[in-house]
Amino acid sequence: MLIKLNQNAGNEVLGLLIARLTSLGLHPCVSSDGTHTIVGIEKELSKEAMKEISSIGGIHEMLPFSTPWKLCSRAFKKEKTQITVKGVTIGGPEVIMMAGPCAIESEEQLRSIAKQLAKARVKVFRASAYKPRTSPYSFQGMGVEGLRLHKLVQQEHGMLIDTEVMDVRDVEVVAEHVDIVRIGARNMQNFNLLKEVGRCGKPVILKRGMSATVEEWLMSAEYIMAHGNHQVILCERGIRTFENSTRSTLDLSSVAVARQLTHLPIIVDPSHAAGRNDIIPALCKASVAIGADGLLVEVHHTPDTAKCDGKQSLLPHELAQLVLELDAIARAMGRSL
Amino acid sequence: MLIKLNQNAGNEVLGLLIARLTSLGLHPCVSSDGTHTIVGIEKELSKEAMKEISSIGGIHEMLPFSTPWKLCSRAFKKEKTQITVKGVTIGGPEVIMMAGPCAIESEEQLRSIAKQLAKARVKVFRASAYKPRTSPYSFQGMGVEGLRLHKLVQQEHGMLIDTEVMDVRDVEVVAEHVDIVRIGARNMQNFNLLKEVGRCGKPVILKRGMSATVEEWLMSAEYIMAHGNHQVILCERGIRTFENSTRSTLDLSSVAVARQLTHLPIIVDPSHAAGRNDIIPALCKASVAIGADGLLVEVHHTPDTAKCDGKQSLLPHELAQLVLELDAIARAMGRSL
Amino acid sequence: MLIKLNQNAGNEVLGLLIARLTSLGLHPCVSSDGTHTIVGIEKELSKEAMKEISSIGGIHEMLPFSTPWKLCSRAFKKEKTQITVKGVTIGGPEVIMMAGPCAIESEEQLRSIAKQLAKARVKVFRASAYKPRTSPYSFQGMGVEGLRLHKLVQQEHGMLIDTEVMDVRDVEVVAEHVDIVRIGARNMQNFNLLKEVGRCGKPVILKRGMSATVEEWLMSAEYIMAHGNHQVILCERGIRTFENSTRSTLDLSSVAVARQLTHLPIIVDPSHAAGRNDIIPALCKASVAIGADGLLVEVHHTPDTAKCDGKQSLLPHELAQLVLELDAIARAMGRSL
Amino acid sequence: MLIKLNQNAGNEVLGLLIARLTSLGLHPCVSSDGTHTIVGIEKELSKEAMKEISSIGGIHEMLPFSTPWKLCSRAFKKEKTQITVKGVTIGGPEVIMMAGPCAIESEEQLRSIAKQLAKARVKVFRASAYKPRTSPYSFQGMGVEGLRLHKLVQQEHGMLIDTEVMDVRDVEVVAEHVDIVRIGARNMQNFNLLKEVGRCGKPVILKRGMSATVEEWLMSAEYIMAHGNHQVILCERGIRTFENSTRSTLDLSSVAVARQLTHLPIIVDPSHAAGRNDIIPALCKASVAIGADGLLVEVHHTPDTAKCDGKQSLLPHELAQLVLELDAIARAMGRSL
């Protein structure tokens, strides 16, 4: 159940409400939809409890939900959420191209790739300073120094920048440096990290976990929203199956299913799903056609010497060519790119 | 290894060759690519064996392959295979719409649906007389009487007709009645059935098994080809995964991957993958965008009373509307529909 | 719903009943539990229909079921089914060891392996004359000649023999030669084959399909039973998952789950699940401990030159040693081996 | 490659070595096997580099590895690792029973359950103060207060206690309170958390991720070891598959496979895999028979009112009965319980 407070409801009302709900054995979460403070709880209150809660005053409405996800549901908000950062709108008519290297390796590398992508309608320049690596002995990312370079190079190309955050202790510094914070597939159910990005004030790309159902994916978005941050962008990136011709199996149906259930923008990362660059253009086309609001594509200027995931990276000029082909499909869909 | 005979090589040469290969412990399969007789064997022959085989005479060339699939590989045939039946070409520039009810229920039902589909650019009218049902107590299909109705109604609408065959004993009668024979997902590795349709003389739609890898799917196509029938159409229809918001997970990557490996046409059946009709239009769009040569969609005029799979069926007018939207995407891809 | 006829009910009653049910749009299946003829239908009849059906006379009882499987359910038959063939009882206190080579290769091979297995408490000598092979160019089995050898060698060792049947046209000849007929994983939903073995009069080992749920597995057993054969032995052999250190993932939970749902005997085939022989002993121990009624293990005297699946075969003396270790666990479970 | 230093090698040698490896673009990790300091790197060094590194002096040996996991491999350490805490040895001949409620709910609850388990040969009392919950609105655990209660109640029953840690910021306080730290399935690839428990000084139970391969599971163990903590206990708890009669599919083969690859102790958690208590006894028996070094089982005195996972919990007296049955199997295996 969601309890929406009046616009002018003060902290005292909120405090009384929280205390009352807690005394009922509930675990209220507080966020805001921009105009109203919203308090979420797991279950529907009984009629008696609702009556008693109402008597506190300052309550706008009490919204019941049949689904375990509430704030991110279509039932809570009918129209699609649009997230606008520095003039770029994710979730609007335009399909947003996000691209860049897997890892930040050097200033020169970022500069070289960014220069070419800025000319290819890329709106968000992705690159990671912290890398989740299967082996403890592998390159773990440049860390804060990488964040600094990311921001430094941004001054030249002007694209938005996004990066992955893996550790609750890094959320603050990451949010200071980039425009969009990204939660990787392995951390989709790192609930404390979700809570922290719920408080970070920047839009969050939430990748679907490799073995997460659509419902669990939405519940993780709900975590971020319930802890204060309604600017969540869902990102499908493939699930684990028996099929081994691709690294994961890109589940494009999930985009269509999630679209029915939530108002949040949904993007697709075909690079990590495929793990091979030859089918990335085809997967991008399918993603645009199924209604994705954006694409997250790995691009590297020298894939053979990339510190990670070179095999799945496109070259900058391949991306530029692909963008033209995607634009045609976006237009056939009544959108642009 | 594939051994291609000279065009004028007679049965004597073929007999000698088969005898020699068999004596080497091999299991040769004989087919034809339209101009040459081709004999396939599992492994590469040794130099000595090749020399000896050559001495039989009548051999055009001996083609080694690094993959277990040979006849269906791009290495064997570079250009895409086009299969033309009564003026309809599958695998050409046009994306072919195949649609119809899950099961043949009555003459009236077939006539009613066919009438509307014929006006909606549908080229192949699908309907099944034999139904693989999980329960022995469920409707098992109308059988031969259904085949007769299918053919009867065809005289009015003129679309091609296709139907599923489940039993080796039914291949002959099915091939007599329909234009295209279909192998369902549960029978993708029913190898004796594959051999029989390899001898049936009609194009075959081969659905991917629910737990089949792309490689196994191609190997099943190879079975049909190796037993004489090179007119195989691959059909992706979803694989089994943990995700339960859809009945199966449509693996569109497999279309892109298979495209790299084989010259055969590839179509997509979104209906059985989704198991729900609300996301069928989105899945169709993605299928066209990823490069499918056709779509196989379930349509029923009264889904609520359908004998099977009503939940995943579109209404005829919904399909007609969808075709217009798909045409726009096909055109953006340089194709039509 | 199951309708049990009186013991003395004649064909006329059965005919009337079938006609009446068919006229209601149902698809009745007829079998026998040894004493009573049983007619199964998919749904519960309405009160009116039940009253009318009763008026036919000759009906012993009408049993409603909440599950889609009926004849194989614990609700239909409480006590475990025991299947006895030539003095060997499957489903009783003894855990039955079934072992042998994947494929029948020669008389010498069968004789050599059988001799050693007969001394190692093996009760059923498995070997296949028909082989489902992924490639059309691979050895497809010795066919009828293999069946003949299987039976011939049996005269020396005296163990029961079982073999796989893949084709509806082979059911009769297979049932003539062996004591137990086996349906492989790829054919678990080859429904026409299930119907045929339902009429074959020999016990049937039904392997679980690679992507079949426990419920679907039971439904396939129901097919065999509904078509007349109540002697079905379920066999878990691994399911397809993302894990690749084993060929399939042996789902031992399914044995425990199926045990709750059905009275049929359940055995385990660890060889095809693992695809590697080093963990077969461990998997056999776990299978006995979870309550399997038997084991189906591949054994070959010269695995390196086996025509198929050599990698997963134990040597005869390894099996003999394993049997001793399994016996200890069986005894700890209050059984023997 | 692992580089083992001499026992008397000082910090200066270590410093020089690290500096040299880093300058080669490598990412060395430092730990100790109890007697020697060990430096791990991802790749094998070239002969030249090895020669140069040797010249630093103080190096005992340089060990190449063909596998990506090194410290946890059988190649590094042949004999099984035994982890002894307050007289309880995990990885020795005894199969260790670990049991307790999912979540710490109250002092009374802990006391009531612990009292009964202490009499039932349970050696480790499990209970969680921090709970990973799919919904933000669910009970999230009692936190530090829960840890305090866990330790308080321990003074009465004397069993070892273990609890889950989910947040890098909680590792220190958790390690202060409990004997064994647990990493849950959702955090198996929370690499920063693995690094922190690598420094915590307490044995760590590492649960396999729901979509993790055996190889990835070992790599996560390697993370903990490479960061200083060689006391890692692997715990199989089921993987995500299409099968839905159980919450996850317990992959007992993984225990046998991991046993071949690593010297670390391996235990099994059947409760989270099954998600239903009726098959827990059967799964426990199979786990002991396959060679698990311990079991982690959920027990609750009032499952119907448990704050989480009541459906999969055994009652204390059911566990006591089960222990007797498991002991019989352990003895048949030459172990005890």
For residue D1, the chain A residue with the least C-alpha distance is A137
DSSP state of D81: P
**What residues in B contact C222, CB-CB < 8 Å?**
135-136
What is the average pLDDT across B35-48? 93
Chains B–C, number of C-beta pairs less than 8 Å apart: 99
Phi, psi angles (nearest 5°) of residue A190? -85, 85
**What residues in B contact A241, CB-CB < 8 Å?**
239, 241, 249, 251
> Does the CB of C92 have a partner CB in chain D at under 8 Å?
no
Cβ pair C253:D254 closer than 8 A: no
> Does the CB of B7 have a partner CB in chain D at under 8 Å?
no
For residue D239, the chain A residue with the least C-alpha distance is A211
CA distance D39 to D227: 10
**Residue ranges making up the domain that contains D324:** 83-332
Taking only the tens place, the pLDDT of each residue in C81-119 is 999 999 999 999 999 999 999 999 999 999 999 999 999
Domain CATH number, residue A167 = 3.20.20.70
Cβ pair C244:A244 closer than 8 A: yes
CA distance D213 to D210: 9
> Does the CB of D311 have a partner CB in chain A at under 8 Å?
no
Select from C67, C95, C241, C253 the residue whose CB has the most chain D CBs within 10 Å, as the one to mutate to test that interface.
C253
Best CA proximity match to C128, nearest among C152, C110, C154 = C110
CA distance D224 to D190: 11
Taking the CA of residue D274 and the nearest CA in chain B, the distance in Å comes to 15
The radius of gyration computed from the CA coordinates of chain B, to the nearest angstrom, equals 21
End-to-end CA distance of chain A: 38
Instruction: Give me the DSSP letters along D174-241.
Output: HHHH-SEEEE-GGGTT-HHHHHHHTTS-S-EEEEPPTT--HHHHHHHHHHHHHTT---EEEEE--B--
> Does the CB of B323 have a partner CB in chain A at under 8 Å?
no
Taking the CA of residue D42 and the nearest CA in chain A, the distance in Å comes to 5
**Is residue B307 pLDDT above 90, yes or no?**
no
Taking only the tens place, the pLDDT of each residue in D111-133 is 999 999 999 999 999 999 999 99
Contacts of D15 (CB under 8 A, 6+ apart): none
Select from A242, A244, A247, A249 the residue whose CB has the most chain C CBs within 10 Å, as the one to mutate to test that interface.
A242
Neighbouring subunits of A (3+ Cβ pairs under 8 A): B, C, D
Q: D163 with D255, same domain?
A: yes
Specify whether the CB–CB gap between C250 and D252 falls below 8 A: yes
Taking the CA of residue C77 and the nearest CA in chain D, the distance in Å comes to 20
Q: C107 with C252, same domain?
A: yes
> Which among B214, B253, B274 is the nearest to A283, CB-wise?
B253
Q: What is the pLDDT of residue A308?
A: 82
Instruction: Give me the DSSP letters along D269-302.
Output: -HHHHHSSGGGHHHHHHHHHHHT-SEEEEEB-SS
> Which among B213, B239, B245 is the nearest to A214, CB-wise?
B245
Tokens of A151: 């921001």
Q: What is the pLDDT of residue B10?
A: 87
**What residues in B contact A208, CB-CB < 8 Å?**
none
Q: D164 with D290, same domain?
A: yes
Q: Three-state DSSP class for C314? A: strand
CA distance C110 to A44: 68
**What residues in B contact D242, CB-CB < 8 Å?**
240-242
Cβ pair D239:C239 closer than 8 A: no
Taking only the tens place, the pLDDT of each residue in C129-148 is 999 999 999 999 999 999 99
Q: What is the pLDDT of residue D258?
A: 98
Q: What is the pLDDT of residue C306?
A: 87
Tokens of B209: 């098994």
**What residues in C contact A244, CB-CB < 8 Å?**
244
Q: What is the mean pLDDT of each run of 10 residues along chain A (337 residues)?
A: 93 94 93 93 92 92 92 95 98 98 96 97 97 94 97 96 98 98 98 98 98 98 97 98 98 98 98 97 98 98 87 96 98 96
Q: B100 with B55, same domain?
A: no
Q: At what angle do helices C253-261 and C214-226 cross, to 10 degrees?
A: 50
SS3 content of chain A, % helix, strand, coil (to 5): 40, 20, 40
Q: B159 with B231, same domain?
A: yes
Domain CATH number, residue D18 = 3.30.70.260
Q: What is the pLDDT of residue C10?
A: 87
Taking only the tens place, the pLDDT of each residue in C246-278 is 999 999 999 999 999 999 999 999 999 999 999
Q: What is the pLDDT of residue B309?
A: 79
The radius of gyration computed from the CA coordinates of chain D, to the nearest angstrom, equals 21
CA distances from B198 to A260, B172, C312 (A): 43, 11, 32
Asked, for residue C70, whether it belongs to a domain, the answer is: no
Tokens of B269: 């059946």
Rounded to the nearest 10°, the torsion over CA C161, C167, C170, C175 is 40
What is the pTM assigned to this prediction? 0.96
Asked, for residue A153, whether it belongs to a domain, the answer is: yes
Total structural domains within chain A: 2
Cβ pair D244:B244 closer than 8 A: yes
> Does the CB of A251 have a partner CB in chain B at under 8 Å?
yes
CA distance B56 to B16: 7
Specify whether the CB–CB gap between B135 and C70 falls below 8 A: no
Asked, for residue A72, whether it belongs to a domain, the answer is: no
**Is residue D38 pLDDT above 90, yes or no?**
yes
CA distance B273 to B236: 9
Q: B54 with B87, same domain?
A: no
Q: What is the pLDDT of residue D225?
A: 97
**What residues in D contact B240, CB-CB < 8 Å?**
242
CA distance D179 to D176: 8
> Which among B214, B259, B288 is the nearest to A289, CB-wise?
B288
Taking the CA of residue D245 and the nearest CA in chain B, the distance in Å comes to 12
Q: C92 with C57, same domain?
A: no
Asked, for residue C73, whether it belongs to a domain, the answer is: no
Q: D195 with D117, same domain?
A: yes
What is the average pLDDT across D86-114? 97
What is the average pLDDT across B213-229? 97
Select from B253, B260, B278 the residue whose CB has the most chain A CBs within 10 Å, as the one to mutate to test that interface.
B253
Chains B–D, number of C-beta pairs less than 8 Å apart: 6
Please tell me which residue, B271 or D10, carries the higher pLDDT value: B271
Q: Which of residues 291-310 of B touch A (CB under 8 A)?
A: 291
CA distance B80 to D316: 66
Rounded to the nearest 10°, the torsion over CA C117, C119, C125, C126 is -20
Q: Which of residues 31-90 of D touch A (CB under 8 A)?
A: 40-42, 68
pLDDT band, residue D310 (cuts 50/70/90): confident
**Is residue B297 pLDDT above 90, yes or no?**
yes
Asked, for residue B280, whether it belongs to a domain, the answer is: yes
Phi, psi angles (nearest 5°) of residue C22? -65, -40
Q: What is the pLDDT of residue D306?
A: 87
Conformational region of residue D72, where left means phi above 0, alpha means psi within -120 to 50, and beta covers everything else? alpha
Q: A147 with A269, same domain?
A: yes
Taking only the tens place, the pLDDT of each residue in D159-188 is 999 999 999 999 999 999 999 999 999 999
Q: Position A240: which residue type? A: R
Asked, for residue C78, whether it belongs to a domain, the answer is: no
What is the average pLDDT across B238-249? 98
Q: B29 with B154, same domain?
A: no
Q: C211 with C313, same domain?
A: yes
Neighbouring subunits of C (3+ Cβ pairs under 8 A): A, B, D
Best CA proximity match to C97, nearest among C280, C311, C231 = C280
Strands C96-100 and C122-126: parallel
Q: C87 with C46, same domain?
A: no
**Is residue C235 pLDDT above 90, yes or no?**
yes
Instruction: Give me the DSSP letters along A181-220.
Output: EEE-GGGTT-HHHHHHHTTS-S-EEEEPPTT--HHHHHHH
Cβ pair A189:D189 closer than 8 A: no
**In chain B, which ranges are continuous DSSP H helix?**
11-23, 47-54, 107-118, 144-157, 171-177, 191-197, 214-226, 253-261, 270-274, 280-290, 316-332
Asked, for residue A98, whether it belongs to a domain, the answer is: yes
CA distance B153 to A90: 50
Specify whether the CB–CB gap between C257 and C249 falls below 8 A: no
Q: Which helix (H) or strand (E) holds C18?
A: helix C11-23
Strands C29-32 and C2-5: unpaired
Average pLDDT, chain D: 96
Q: What is the pLDDT of residue D156?
A: 95
Asked, for residue C56, whether it belongs to a domain, the answer is: yes
Cβ pair B190:C192 closer than 8 A: no
**Is residue B65 pLDDT above 90, yes or no?**
no
Strands, sheet with D29-32, edge to edge from the N-terminal-most edge strand: D29-32, D37-40, D2-5, D59-63
> Does the CB of D241 have a partner CB in chain A at under 8 Å?
no
Q: Which of residues 95-134 of C touch B (CB under 8 A)?
A: 132-134
